[in-house]
Amino acid sequence: MACGYAPRCALDYNDSGVVRFTEIVNMITACDRSIHDISRVELDRKSLLPRFNMPLELGADLGLRLAGPQLQRRRKSLILDSEAHRYDKTLSDISGMDIEAHSNDAREIIRLVRDWLNANREADAPPLPGAAAINDDHNAYLGIAHDIVANLRLDPHDDLPHSDYLHVVAVALPRIEIARAGALGASPTR
Amino acid sequence: MSLILGGMTAAKSSAPKTGHRTAKVSSTYRGVRVQATDGQSRFTLDQIKQAVEAAVVKNADALAGRTKA
C-alpha cells in the first residue's frame, strides 16, 4: 500500500460457498502484478504436514503468464524465498528463474518488494518512496498498532482480519508520515 | 507483516469492484496515492480515522523521536 497498490490476498476470501482456488485464480487474473513468498511452505502445527497453497498459487500465476490469454502474458511476478537457492531442493522446476532471498528479515522484504515495484512502473511514473523511509514508517505503525486496535476494541493486532488491516493501514500511512515529518521539522519527503 | 506472509497479488486501481466497501480512503503517502481497498470492513471510515488519530496523538512523542514507542 505504501507503494500505491491495492493488495489482494487469498485471506480476503472467507466465503465457504465458493471454491477458494477459483476465487484465487480470478483474483490473480484481475491483477497485473503478483508476489509469491514460497518460504511460507511450512509444516502445519497440528498435522506436521507441509502446506502447499503458495506453490499452487505460484503455479497458477506462471501458467497464466506462459500460456494464458495475451493480456496475462504481460503480467509481472516477484518470487521470494527465505534463502538463496533453497528452491533448488523444494521447487526445482523453477530453477533458472530469478528468485529473491529475504532471510526472513522484514526490512529486506520491504526493500525487495519496493525495488521490484519501482522497477516495473510505467516509464513516466514518479519513483516510489525509498525502502528505508517505508521501513521506518512500518516500524512506526507497529509502534502504535496496539493502540489503534485497542481503540477499535479489537482482538490483538496479529488477529486482525486482512480486510480490516488494509483499511487501517490506508488511513494510518499518511497520518504517520505527517507525524514523523513534523518531528523532523520539515515537509514530508521521500 | 501480513502483506508479505503469503501468496499475494498486488494490483493497481483496475482491481475488480466486488463486494461492498464500508470504508474508502483516497489520500497521499510520500507522494504516492494510497489506493482504496475493496474489501469489506467491520468499521466505518470515521471509526478507523478516529482510532488512528487517537493512537497518533497518544504516541506523538514517540513518532516525533522524542521518546521510544
Beta-carbon count within 10 A of A121 CB = 13
Inter-chain CB proximity B52 and A2 less than 8 Å: no
Chain A residues 129-158 with a CB less than 8 Å from chain B: 129, 133-134, 137-138, 140, 143-145, 147-148, 151-152
Strands B8-11 and B27-29: unpaired
Inter-chain CB proximity A182 and B64 less than 8 Å: yes
pTM value is 0.82
User: pLDDT tens-digit profile of B19-45?
Assistant: 334 445 558 999 999 987 777 888 899
| A19 Cβ contact list (under 8 Å, min separation 6) | none
What's the pLDDT at B23? 45
Q: For the residues B36-59, what does the mean pLDDT come to?
A: 89
Sheet holding A100-101, edge to edge: A6-9, B8-11, A33-37, A76-81, A100-101
* 3-state secondary structure string across chain A: CCCCCEEEEHHHCCCCCCCHHHHHHHHHHHCCEEEEEHHHCCECCCCCCECCHHHHHHHHHHHHHHHCCHHHHHCEEEEEECCCCCHHHHCHHHCCCCCEECCCCHHHHHHHHHHHHHHCCCCCCCCCCCHHHHHHHHHHHHHHHHHHHHHCCCCCHHHCCHHHHHHHHHHHHHHHHHHHHHHHCCCCCC
Using a 10 angstrom Cβ sphere, with 0-12 exposed, 13-18 middle and 19 or more buried, the burial of residue B21 is: middle
Work out the minimum CA distance from B67 to partner chain A, whole angstroms: 11
Question: How far is it, in rounded angstroms, from Cα A38 to Cα A56?
Answer: 10
Mutation target vs A (from B1, B3, B61; most A CBs, 10 A cutoff): B3
* 3-state secondary structure string across chain B: CCCCCCCEEEECCCCCCCCCCCCCCCEEECCEEECCCCCCCCCCHHHHHHHHHHHHHHCHHHHCCCCCC
Beta-carbon count within 10 A of B49 CB = 16
Question: Structural domain boundaries of chain A?
Answer: 1-126, 129-190
pLDDT tens for the 190 residues of chain A, in order: 999 998 988 777 666 667 788 888 988 999 999 999 988 777 878 888 888 888 899 999 999 999 888 888 889 999 999 988 887 877 888 877 889 999 999 999 999 999 999 999 888 888 899 999 999 999 999 999 999 999 988 777 767 788 888 999 999 999 999 998 875 554 444 5
